[in-house]
Amino acid sequence: MKYFPIKTLIIFLVLMPAVYISGVFLLEHHVQKQYASDIENLYIGDTQPLLEGRIRLKDAVAANIDTYLRGRQLNPLGIKADVLVLAGNQIMIYPAFPDSDAEALNPLSQEQVASNNFRLMNEGLSVRVDVSLARGSFLDVGIIGGYLMVAGFVFLYFYRAGLRRARADEASRQEEIHRLREAENQHYSRIMLLSEERKRLAGEIEQTRKNLSEYRATASRTEDQLLDEMIALEEKVNMSMALSEELRRENEALRQVAEARDTEKQKTGKKSAAYGTVDKRFKTLYKQTLMHKRALDSFMGLTDDMKIKAEEVIKQLDSDPSGADVKRKVDLRKSREKIFEVGFAYNGRLYFRNMDDGRAEVLIIGTKNSQVKDMSFLDTL
């Protein structure tokens, strides 16, 4: 989890609504401009039948606009267009209201229709188009799906990059351990060679002492010369022993570094194993009580005495939640969860909530010192 792209995930969660709203707005704006331009070019159609009075203006406008809207491919996908056509004095031409009974029984003559059409067109017509994308439509879902797909690919890229970095770090750590072990072996070999050299020099000293006795007997060499040779050999031995001791200390330091790295790796494995053991034990012993992951983490950090007291409270919740010594109902600023606080071991705090199936869920276990951090966590539920 060290290289998990949590920042990238948060950025996506924050930007997705803004990107979606911007995309829908741009789509609606573009389609609105296109529809408005097309409708303004065709909504009147051929003016000859209008001026001759063969068709009313509102009927011609309705027929032309309805034909245009039925031919749009985006409409079945979720695009909804509301069109309003007004004459100069705010007379609604489209959408047209049904004819009244009087108009149906006494239709206007062709000359009257032509006169009305000419008057309305002379007053000037204005077109207003309002386009909206229906929420939950095919096109709306497609836009959301496209954004989610792009976000998923980008997140997958960063996740794989983090995974590669984690693997590279692990390989580098293993390589460093291997290098230290090789250095340890090399220093050990040098120590063995120096040990052999010391034995050889000790043999030479012994032989020199024997020769000294012989030389004294034969007087072939003076006593001063033999003593000088002995002193020189002893100095060599002392230097060899000092070098051997220095190499031994260096080898011991390298061994401690390698052991520290192995111990760190073993501690990580033991902590994971202990976590799994505690989780399994709680699931086996307390069937009516659920343990949140944060509760298990905080339980592992308690002292042994506080663990015993905390488990007594968990056992009470499992057997009879109503018998638990609830200090208060926690008032949260952001969350609406009903969370209760139970005290234990003087300054211990255990927070739980009741589930719909009758069981209790332990959310977090802490102390008075961790209360602020615990409240912040409960606010996120």
Query: What digits encode the pLDDT tens for the residues 364-375?
Result: 999 988 888 988
**Domain termination site, one of 240, 270, 300:** 270
Q: What is the pLDDT of residue 230?
A: 79
**Domain termination site, one of 221, 246, 270:** 270
Q: What is the pLDDT of residue 313?
A: 92
**Domain termination site, one of 134, 154, 185:** 134
Q: What is the pLDDT of residue 186?
A: 87
Average pLDDT over residues 164-181: 86
83 to 35, 40, 160, 371: CA distances (angstroms): 9, 11, 50, 60
Q: Which long-range contacts (CB under 8 A, 24 or more apart) does 216-222 make?
A: none
Query: What digits encode the pLDDT tens for the residues 205-245?
Result: 988 888 887 877 776 656 677 677 778 777 776 776 766 67
How many Å apart are CA 235 and CA 251, to the nearest integer? 24
Q: What is the pLDDT of residue 351?
A: 94
How many Å apart are CA 145 and CA 7, to the nearest integer? 22
Domain count for the chain, please give it: 3
Q: What is the pLDDT of residue 114?
A: 85
- Same domain, residue pair 243 and 263: yes
Q: Which long-range contacts (CB under 8 A, 24 or more apart) does 225-230 make?
A: 230/205
Instruction: Extract the tokens encoding 239.
Output: 């230097």
Element housing 56 (H / E): none
- Same domain, residue pair 210 and 253: yes
- Same domain, residue pair 11 and 40: yes
- The residues that bridge with 349 in the sheet, in sequence order, are 343, 366
**88 located within any domain:** yes
- Same domain, residue pair 11 and 112: yes
Q: Which of 323, 287, 313 is nearest to 365 (CA)?
A: 313
331 to 294, 334, 338, 341, 375: CA distances (angstroms): 20, 9, 8, 10, 9
**60 located within any domain:** yes
Query: What digits encode the pLDDT tens for the residues 45-93?
Result: 888 888 888 888 888 888 888 888 888 866 677 788 888 888 876 788 8
Range of the domain at 340: 282-379
Q: How large a percentage of the chain has pLDDT more than 70?
A: 85
Average predicted confidence (pLDDT) for the chain: 81
Q: What is the pLDDT of residue 112?
A: 82
**253 located within any domain:** yes
Pairwise pLDDT comparison (2 vs 8), residue with the higher score: 8
Instruction: Extract the tokens encoding 205.
Output: 């000293």
Average pLDDT over residues 163-186: 86
- Global model pTM greater than 0.75: no
Query: What digits encode the pLDDT tens for the residues 243-278?
Result: 667 656 755 665 665 555 555 555 555 566 778 888
**141 located within any domain:** no
Residue with tokens 């408005």: 36
